[in-house]
Amino acid sequence: MDTVGAGVSGQIPALENLPPMNEDGASGMHLYQPWWLYKQQKAGKLNFARGYHIEMSGGRGMPGAGAFGGLQSFTEGAYGADFKQACRRYYGTFVHFAGRGEMIPNENSYAELDPTVVDQWGIPVLKFHWQWSEHEINQAAHMQKTFADIITGMGGKVTSNIETDGRKAIASGGSIIHEVGGTIMGADRRKSVLNQHCQAWDVPNLFVADGAPFASNADKNPTLTILALAWRTSDYIVEQFKQRNI
């Protein structure tokens, strides 16, 4: 499973012409808003399951690579001293909203042994099947509308396209690099690869202690959960070893 992603940028006129200041201490971090529409979702008012968080960024950090840091669209044909003044006016007035949401497991996303391709030792390689479902597509469209509403509610103007079609709004699979799953855990050996201790149903001395046991992934980064599961699995391995079960 992957993580849903979509983003929107805007410009806030209220931030124009602010006195210059050193924001180096803010580093590259950003504001974070957790999922908030639990009640609406429980009431069936949303057309997708689970939720997403919002990451907000902006400020006067060092410009990234590129011509004029994107200011050329706002400098109104200025040149020379006028251009510098326009840059001072607009720089630091831009904000960006990005969403990260949970992908729901679906029957079209799975891994299997490739029936024809093998590695250098003759072992079949993994073949991955994957696609978004309507849950993620609708979620991404909801993100875009939410971001645009926040920007306009702040008195700003949206500077990127707002996609009402979630298929166009959603980031490409794998681009956020929070993939999990592949050997999911579960209570039924017919529907899962691992048991609740991350132990393979078919190979008792095989344990998987990374992101593969996840049945799904929340909109948060999975690293801390991976660490917690690995610790829990390690404790179980020690216990089973002492009992000579493995």
State the pLDDT at residue 67: 63
Structure tokens at 106: 């679906």
Both 150 and 246 in a single domain? Answer: no
In a domain, 174, yes or no: no
The confidence band for 237, taking pLDDT boundaries of 50, 70 and 90, is very high
Both 42 and 147 in a single domain? Answer: yes
State the pLDDT at residue 24: 65
Q: 240 or 18: whose pLDDT is higher?
A: 240
Both 68 and 161 in a single domain? Answer: yes
Both 64 and 100 in a single domain? Answer: yes
Our count of domains for the chain comes to: 2
Q: 1 or 131: whose pLDDT is higher?
A: 131
Instruction: Report the distance separating Cα 50 and Cα 101, nearest Å.
Output: 8
In a domain, 48, yes or no: yes
Residues 123-147, mean pLDDT to the nearest whole number: 94
State the pLDDT at residue 4: 85
In a domain, 124, yes or no: no
Look up the domain containing 220 and give its range: 180-246
Predicted TM-score of the model (pTM): 0.83
Instruction: Report the distance separating Cα 35 and Cα 42, nearest Å.
Output: 13
The confidence band for 174, taking pLDDT boundaries of 50, 70 and 90, is confident
State the pLDDT at residue 20: 77
Both 91 and 203 in a single domain? Answer: no
Residues 89-95, mean pLDDT to the nearest whole number: 86
List the alpha helices (DSSP H) in 110-222.
Answer: 134-153, 166-169
List the Cα angle 8/9/11 in 5-degree steps.
150
Which residues are bridge partners to 97 per DSSP? 8, 56
Report yes or no: 30 and 7 within 8 Å, Cβ to Cβ: no
In a domain, 125, yes or no: no
